[in-house]
Amino acid sequence: MSKFSLKKLPPEVLRSTAQKIRMLRKLASLSQSNLAERSGVSLGSLKRFEASGKISLESFLKLLHILGRLDEFDGILQPGEDIRDIEKLFTNKS
C-alpha cells in the first residue's frame, strides 16, 4: 500500500499474485520447469513472473489452468448485485 492509500497499488498486486502462484506451484509439487512445460509458458516467462510479477495475461491464464484455479479468475469481474434489484424483492406492488 502506498503512503497515501489503504488500497493496494498494481505493483503490489503483481508481487502478491506472483507469490501466490509460486506457493500454489509448490503445493502441487511442481518445479518451475514442470509447470512451464505443462502450461506451455516458457520457463523464462515463469521465472520472470515469480521474480517480478510481470507476465502476459494469456500466460497467466495458462498457469492458472494447470494449477486448477482458472474458474476463480473467471469469476472476479462479474457485475455486482444492484441494490435496486434486491429492494424490488421487498416492495409491495399490490
26: nearest Cα among 14, 17, 35:
35
Per-residue pLDDT of 10-35, as tens digits, reads 999 999 999 999 999 999 999 999 99
| Domain residue spans of the chain | 10-71
- C-alpha to C-alpha distance for 46 and 49, rounded to whole angstroms: 5
CATH topology of domain 10-71: 434 Repressor (Amino-terminal Domain) (1.10.260)
pLDDT at residue 38 tops 80: yes
pLDDT band at 7 (very low <50, low <70, confident <90, very high): confident
Instruction: Please state, in angstroms and rounded to a whole number, the distance separating the CA atoms of residues 1 and 10.
Output: 10
With a cut of 80, say whether residue 82 has pLDDT above it.
Answer: no
pLDDT at residue 51 in the model: 95
- Cβ neighbour number for residue 81 with a 10 Å cutoff: 8
State which amino acid sits at residue 30: L
For the question of whether the overall pTM of this predicted structure is more than 0.85, the answer is: no
pLDDT at 47 over 70: yes
